[in-house]
């Protein structure tokens, strides 16, 4: 008990508190030790330091959040394109004998499935039974039956679509040559 009293007495004397006894055995003044400490803490200027730290960190934090948001949009566009190409390839696989231009039918299906994307920017490439067609139509062919003749049952029909992605963050394109590519191959039914 005597040790504690000496520590309290020493700490109080540092803050200018005089310990007096109002009655024998009662130590008055030790309970007021918190006021000078709170007063000393109140005079320090920690608010300005926090404001400076916030001002330094906010632009970096906003840049990171915006980049994450932009990357999320690009990832969503990729998922949308992949799903649309998969739907188009399934339609191409079952459209044997039903159309003279299966590529145009497939491109329309991809455009209808990818409603969020700017469909004018989607480019197509079709591989039907080993013959490659570029563009949304494959009606012009050297054979008399056209592309529909290349849709033989059991052969592979492959659809590839590319879409430009933009990763613009505060006026800077992070990856200027970014393109999203989705490819699906199906067996013709």
Confidence class of residue 43 from pLDDT cuts 50, 70 and 90?
low
pLDDT in the model for residue 129: 86
Q: 21: which 2 tokens? A: 């006894």
The model's confidence at residue 144, banded by pLDDT at 50, 70 and 90, is very low
The stretch 58-85 carries a mean pLDDT of 95
Q: Does the residue 49 lie in any domain?
A: no
Q: How far apart are CA 147 and CA 105, in angstroms?
A: 12
Q: What is the pLDDT of residue 172?
A: 87
Q: Are residues 131 and 101 in the same domain?
A: yes
Q: Are residues 29 and 71 in the same domain?
A: no
Give yes or no: residues 178 and 134 share one domain.
Answer: yes
Mark whether 71 and 161 lie in a shared domain: yes
Residue 65 pLDDT more than 60? yes
pLDDT of residue 98: 86
- Are 93 and 159 in a shared domain? yes
Q: Is 51 within the bounds of a domain?
A: no
Q: Percent of the chain beyond pLDDT 90?
A: 51
Residue bearing the bigger pLDDT, 131 or 22: 131
Judge whether 57 lies within some domain. Answer: no
Same structural domain, 93 and 127: yes
Query: What percent of the chain stands above pLDDT 70?
Result: 71
Task: Please check the confidence at residue 142 and state whether its pLDDT lies above 50.
Answer: no
b vs e for 150-182, b when ≥16 Cβ sit within 10 Å of the residue's Cβ?
Answer: bbeeeeebbbbbbbebeeeeeeeeeeeeeebeb
- Classify residue 54: in a domain, yes or no: no
Per-residue pLDDT band for 89 (boundaries 50, 70, 90) equals very high
> Which residue range is the domain that position 16 belongs to?
2-43
Q: Is residue 56 assigned to a domain?
A: no
Same domain, 75 and 167: yes
From 90, 107, 110, select the one nearest 189 (Cα to Cα).
90
**Which carries the bigger pLDDT value, residue 75 or residue 189?**
75
Residue 66 CA: distances (Å) to CA of 58, 73, 77: 12, 11, 17
Q: Which of 149, 167, 151, 170 is nearest to 159 (CA)?
A: 151
């Amino acid at each position: 008990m005597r040790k504690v009293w000496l520590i309290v007495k020493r700490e109080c004397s540092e803050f200018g508190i005089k310990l007096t006894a109002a009655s024998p055995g009662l130590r008055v003044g030790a309970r007021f030790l918190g006021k000078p400490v709170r007063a000393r803490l109140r005079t320090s200027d920690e608010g300005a330091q926090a404001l400076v730290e916030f001002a330094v960190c906010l632009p970096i934090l906003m840049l990171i959040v915006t980049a994450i948001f932009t990357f999320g949009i690009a990832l969503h566009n990729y998922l949308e394109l992949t799903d649309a190409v998969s739907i188009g390839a399934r339609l191409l696989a079952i459209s044997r004998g039903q159309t003279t231009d299966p590529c145009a039918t497939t491109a329309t299906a991809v455009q209808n499935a990818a409603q969020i994307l700017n469909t004018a920017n989607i480019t197509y490439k079709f591989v039907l039974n080993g013959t490659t067609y570029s563009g949304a139509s494959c009606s012009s062919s050297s054979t008399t039956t056209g592309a529909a003749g290349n849709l033989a049952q059991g052969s592979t029909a492959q659809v590839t679509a590319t879409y430009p992605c933009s990763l613009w963050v505060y006026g800077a394109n992070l990856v200027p040559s970014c393109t999203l590519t989705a490819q699906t191959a199906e067996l013709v039914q």
